Amino acid sequence: MKIHNFEQFEEQITKNQDIFKEEVKDNKKVILICGDSGCVANNSLKLKEKFDLLINQKNLQDRFLVKLTGCFGFCSKGPFVKIMPDNVTYHKVKEQDIFEIFESHLLNNVIVERLLYNKTKDISLIDFYNKQKKIALDGCGVIDPHKIEECFAIKGYTALKRCLSSLTSLQVIEEVSESGLRGRGGGGFPTGKKWLTAYNQQNEKKYVICNADEGDPGAFMDRAILEGNPHSVIEGMIIAGYAIGASKGYVYIRAEYPSAVKKLEKALEDAYEYGLLGQNIMGTNFSFDIEIRLGAGAFVCGEETALIASIEGKRGMPNAKPPYPAIKGLWGKPTIINNVETFANLPFILKEGGVERFKSVGTEKSKGTKVFALAGKVNNIGLVEVPMGTTLRELIYDIGGGIANDKEFKAIQTGGPSGGCLTKEDLDTPIDFDSLLAKGSMMGSGGIIVMDEDNCMIDVAKFYLKFICEESCGKCTPCRIGTTRMLELLEKISDGKGEESDLEELDKLAHYIKKASLCGLGQSAPNPVLSTLDKFKEEYLEHIKEHKCRAKVCKSLIKYHIIPEKCHKCGVCARFCPVYAISGTVGKEPFEIDPEKCIKCGLCMSNCAFKSIEKTTGGENND
């Protein structure tokens, strides 16, 4: 099985090119089920078990094959079951639906209409997928990540073969530069430029690191890529190694992603078995090894120098740059660090004609696509890949299907704890590195959180700042102490004790921290506060002057109130109240909340079947 030369590699590609057609030959059917962590959490493994059971019971193993794939993308409507070659996809499938799909569709070719999304058989036709373009996510939701042969079927490793057989290292770097690829981890640094610096270093040892320490809370792009098509990342890393002259690569991945680690381990094993990793790849002089290193839950380790410190077995604290890792990195050797998604773009770019195809997508200064984890208060939550230049409006309304529960859109947060919030006015901003930065936010790694009228922007700023305070490594005083002082000020405001001068103080501190911190985490730590201060100053002032939280989130500024006319006098609220703050007589008098005793936990409201309990704030109904 081991590939010793380019001809043998081509043989593998030819041999496997019809693998998907073979599977469905002679009336056979394949059942694809999403096996990504998101759908697994929603019971998708049970669905596979159930199909297998039915198939085995009827001895139909030669007619039906059940496979687990990576993420289909449309997570909020999962788990998905796709039947090939019919190209029919069922959504929100539950265990009890399997029997019906089996009897009706598989045995009698009758489609189960009720499980179709919007009555559409071919799910790729719906709005959610319409404006997307898959480059980094190529193969996700299509192939079984456990089978390298399926990766060959979608031309996996052909870019590597092209590099090794017909390009010099420098030519590879030139093509990457020419494609305009910029780092997908958030910084947007030109990948080719980084590689060239490392290439120019004279050193017998160099390293390639894949940053899979996806620490941005609310983001799961990298995990989905690694679970959906780990080979694209491995191929990208080998190419990077060839380009800069490294023979060893490391994937630094979060320990919190056990399933991604497992799939990556299997993919590495397969790549070794085929000789795509190890000594003399495809019979050339080039050798490359990849090893997995686990992170242990420190956001700061997404920063290059901190990541290196962590692999070296130290506390993950950043160091001053320069020297840049491309000159002096892991164990003092030239090292390039790229994000998972950056690597996943390379097989596309380095195929024959790939540079031109890649350049044709995107904007002038941001080429290609970007993968986002679209989450929060939109109808369609999921993993999306859009051409750069797509507007935020298209992302939220066309792809995301608008705001859930008919609420009003309030803000969109990009860039995670280092980014900022954008408002209605910014919705027509095209998504690219520079436009988002100009609007006071940033691209970041791809987490996008949509917020509605029920989110308080002071609370949001507090959320991110708390995160930063906990994740600050403590090396620099401005970041360690400054962010804590900022958090205290925000807490004062959300407690209704704020003064207008606090806003100036916040602004001042934010600028000190940005200027005086060593690493990217500290320098961007105040961004969520600055951007909300800029775009939602009114809300800050309401908290301070009117003691009002319009989203009714800040506990000190709200009161729970039972509307007497609506109260059914059932007493359920009183039973749930943990502090016995609610009194009344069942069936006789409306119930009442004692504001002195109330701890504002909200249990009464969430348990009232008649929606008779409301929250009030500021001057409203403040009796």
Partner 1 sequence: MISSKSKEEIYNIIEKRKNMETPLMMILSDIQNKFGYIDLEVQQIVAEALNIPVSEIYGVVTFYSYFSLKPKGKYVISTCFGTACYVKGTQGIIDEFCNKLKIKPGETTEDGLFSIDILRCVGACSLAPVVTVNGKIYPHVKIADVDKIIKEYKDKEVLMNENS
Site residues, partner 1 (CB under 8 A): 37-38, 41-42, 75-76, 78, 214-220, 223, 255-257, 291, 293-299, 310-316, 331, 373, 375-377, 381-382, 413, 416, 447, 449, 451, 455, 460, 463-464, 473, 576, 578, 601-603, 606-607
Structure tokens at 17: 């090119």
CB of 473 to partner 1, least distance (A): 8
Name the minimum Å distance from CB 373 to partner 1: 6
The residue among 416 and 526 lying less far from partner 1, judged by its C-beta, is 416
Measured in whole angstroms, the distance separating CA 321 from the mean position of its chain's CA atoms is 28
User: Closest approach of Cβ 223 to partner 1, in Å?
Assistant: 5
Nearer CB in complex with partner 1: 113/312: 312
CB of 41 to partner 1, least distance (A): 4
CB of 220 to partner 1, least distance (A): 4
To the nearest whole angstrom, how small is the minimum distance from the Cβ of residue 244 to partner 1? Answer: 19
Residue placing its CB nearer to partner 1 in the complex, 229 or 455: 455
Cα-Cα-Cα-Cα dihedral sign, residues 522, 526, 528, 534: negative
Long-range CB contacts (within 8 A, 24+) of 39-42: 39/71, 39/72, 39/75, 39/78, 39/79, 39/80, 40/259, 42/78, 42/79
Smallest gap from Cβ 419 to partner 1, in A, equals 10
Smaller CB separation from partner 1, 54 or 311: 311
**Residue 237's closest CA among 197, 292, 200, 187?**
292
Q: Count Cβ atoms within 10 A of the Cβ of residue 357 and give its class: 0-12 exposed, 13-18 middle, 19 or more buried.
A: middle
Compare residues 41 and 125 and give the one whose CB is closer to partner 1. Answer: 41
- Give the whole-angstrom CA distance, residue 377 versus residue 500: 31
Backbone phi, then psi, for 232, in 5-degree steps?
Answer: -65, -35
Tokens coding 419: 């980014």
Alpha-carbon torsion 272, 276, 282, 288, what sign?
negative
Please identify, using beta-carbon distances, which residue of 21 and 315 lies nearer to partner 1: 315
User: 348 vs 409, which CB is nearer to partner 1?
Assistant: 409
**Residue closer to partner 1, measured from CB, 76 or 179:** 76
State the minimum distance, in angstroms, from the CB of residue 142 to partner 1: 20
Alpha-carbon gap, residue 202 to 44, rounded angstroms = 50
Residue partners of 240: CB distance under 8 A and separation at least 6: 195, 208, 246, 249, 336, 338, 343, 346
Nearest CA among 536, 573, 542 for reference residue 557: 542
Closest to partner 1 by CB, 185 or 215: 215
- Token pair listed for 19: 């693998």
Least CB distance to partner 1 at residue 375 (A)? 4
Q: How far apart are CA 548 and CA 208, in angstroms?
A: 52
Instruction: Rank residues 145 and 362 by Cβ distance to partner 1 and give the closer one.
Output: 145
Question: For residues 355 and 448, which CB has a smaller minimum distance to partner 1 in the complex?
Answer: 448
Q: Rounded distance, CA 507 to CA 520, Å?
A: 19
Q: DSSP strand E in 147-212: where?
A: 207-212
Cα–Cα distance measured from residue 220 to residue 383, given in angstroms and rounded to the nearest whole number: 8
How many Å apart are CA 36 and CA 69, to the nearest integer?
Answer: 7
Q: Which of 211, 224, 550 is nearest to 411 (CA)?
A: 550
Whole-number minimum distance, CB 95 to partner 1, in Å? 15
Shortest separation between residue 100's beta carbon and partner 1, angstroms:
23
Q: DSSP letters of 277-344?
A: SBSSGGGSS--BEEEEEEE-S-GGGGSHHHHHHHHTTS------SSSPTTTS-GGGS-EEEEEHHHHH
- 378 beta partners: 403
Task: Please state, in angstroms and rounded to a whole number, the distance separating the CA atoms of residues 516 and 506.
Answer: 15
Q: How far is the CB of 157 from partner 1 (least distance, A)?
A: 27
Least distance in angstroms from the C-beta of 572 to partner 1: 11
DSSP string, 242-277: HHHT--EEEEEEETT-HHHHHHHHHHHHHHHHTTSS
CB distance 87 to 122 below 8 Å = yes
